[in-house]
Copies of this chain bind each other. A is one copy, B any other.
Amino acid sequence: MAQPDGAHQSEAIGRRARAASRHLAAAGTRAKDAALAAMADALGSQAKTILAANAADASDATKAGLSAAMIDRLTLSPEGIEKMAQQVREIADLRDPVGEIIEGYVRPNGLRIERVRVPIGVILVIYESRPNVTSDVAALCLKSGNAVILRGGKESLRTNLAIHRAIADALRSQGLPADAVQMVESPDRNLLAALLREDRSIDLVVPRGGEGLIRTVAEQSRIPVIKHYKGVCHVYVDDLADLAMAAEICFNAKVQRPGVCNAMETMLVHKNVAARFLPRICKRLVKAGVELRGCERTRAVWPDAKPAAEEDWYAEYLDLILAVRVVDDIEQAIEHIAQYGSNHTDAIVSEDVRRIQQFVRDVDSSSVMVNTSTRFSDGGEYGLGAEVGISTDKLHARGPMGLRDLTTYKWIVTGSGQLRA
């Protein structure tokens, strides 16, 4: 096979990252935390340069006719930079996961077996417009002893490069290799494709952004990818639910912040309580500006709902729209979630312990919520500190990914001359 364009450059990037990762794996917590403190300081002292670069990016984005939402996501304020620095300081305050003895025991022949947490090595993070991801991800990877290759969106390239300069200065000032955090400057897709084939030097790829970006990365990558495509989150209201609680939970899950992946997109209601529950919750949702799209039985109770089409059950609206279905029983609710869900976060509201057990066991989602809002599916809410992302994959990390998920382990076997017979 001919080498794709960019293979030479990607190999050099990977090789430098691997070399830096070996330094980082040997660096102690104190050295890493000092570099994080220097990083936070450098973001502060270089704020003017970063803001100037950002203004240039924003101006180009406006000229290029990018959407207001996109320009909003990429625009930084002085407070935004202060928040980025603060987040880096908070990551420094988290406990270093590296070196934790996950388990340890002595075998009958006297061999001491330990499983010890170590950095993964080299991580490639691909993301879109938000520039705070640059400092967040760099800090998380540094804290966990990993070298990182950052590949941001081209519309925020100047901003990212300015942030990266501050980070590199901070690393060098503390005697750590600047290659610990590399920024891919070229927007060339061939280079990205070549990086995704560097499975000898890169250990993990984390794509963050829209479903299209993530699917492209997953399709092209030879390196393991951790990801989530979307969050089609359900709340199932059982006939044995406290209906007042159910209404509060459904309202919170849909309305509190509809544009995020852990917001409810479909509400499933047991047929025995549909006539009692639907009018009160629908009235409240409509008042909050929610558009309802219901199944036939939903519309029999709340005729103002639009008829739901098959694609509504698959939809991640990220908006004030809700699909509503009346189900025969908990089995049909579980079946619906298996067929249309995204394995992200699904909730049951019920007072019945057997129903709860059945739902928790049979719903194959990274987070299953009982009598609470899907909106709590979040690294911060779980107490993980900073969050790398959310995984709906099955391997390595599932659900909100904390610092721990940027590590692996090695087996250390200590003997005194034991031989295998």
Which residues of A are at the interface with B, using a C-beta cutoff of 8 A? 22, 25-26, 105, 107, 111, 113, 118, 120-121, 203-204, 218-219, 222, 224, 226, 242, 245, 248-249, 252, 256-257, 338, 360-362, 364-373, 375-377, 381-383, 393-396, 398-400, 408-421
Contact = CB atoms under 8 A, between A and B. Distances in A.
B409 A113 contact: no
A364 B22 contact: yes
Contact of A408 (B26, B222, B395): B395
Contact of A362 (B25, B412, B415, B421): B25
A364 B395 CA distance: 21
A253 B317 CA distance: 59
Contacts of A376: 111, 413, 415, 418, 420
Contact of A371 (B224, B365, B398, B414): B414
A224 to B, nearest CB: 5
Given A371-B414, A413-B367, A204 B382 contact: no
A226 B395 CA distance: 10
A257 B420 CA distance: 10
B369 A413 contact: yes
Contacts of A218: 222
A113 B369 CA distance: 9
Contact of A395 (B203, B375, B382, B411): B203
Number of chain copies forming the complex: 2
7 contacts: A107-B381, A203-B394, A204-B395, A224-B224, A371-B416, A395-B396, A398-B411
**Which of A26, A111, A395 is the most central at the interface, judged by chain B CB atoms within 10 Å of its CB?**
A395
B417 A375 contact: no
Contact of A419 (B242, B249, B364, B409): B249
B224 A419 contact: no
Nearest to A368: B412
A370 B415 contact: yes
**Which of A248, A372, A421 is the most central at the interface, judged by chain B CB atoms within 10 Å of its CB?**
A372
B373 A420 contact: yes
Contacts of A222: 218-219
B107 A362 contact: no
A367 B203 CA distance: 18
Nearest to A372: B415
**Which of A26, A120, A394, A408 is the most central at the interface, judged by chain B CB atoms within 10 Å of its CB?**
A394
Nearest to A221: B222
B370 A414 contact: yes
Contact of A417 (B22, B226, B242, B377): B242
A240 B314 CA distance: 65
Nearest to A246: B417
**Which of A367, A400, A418 is the most central at the interface, judged by chain B CB atoms within 10 Å of its CB?**
A418
**Which of A204, A222, A382 is the most central at the interface, judged by chain B CB atoms within 10 Å of its CB?**
A382
A226 B107 CA distance: 27
Contacts of A381: 107, 111, 420
A248 B419 CA distance: 8
A108 B242 CA distance: 23
Nearest to A393: B224
B419 A373 contact: yes
B249 A105 contact: no
B203 A256 contact: no
**Which of A219, A362, A367, A420 is the most central at the interface, judged by chain B CB atoms within 10 Å of its CB?**
A420
Given A364-B25, A418-B372, A399 B383 contact: no
A411 B400 contact: yes
Per CB-CB distance, the 10 closest pairs between chain A and chain B, nearest first, are A372-B415, A375-B420, A252-B419, A396-B396, A395-B396, A367-B411, A245-B417, A370-B414, A399-B411, A372-B418
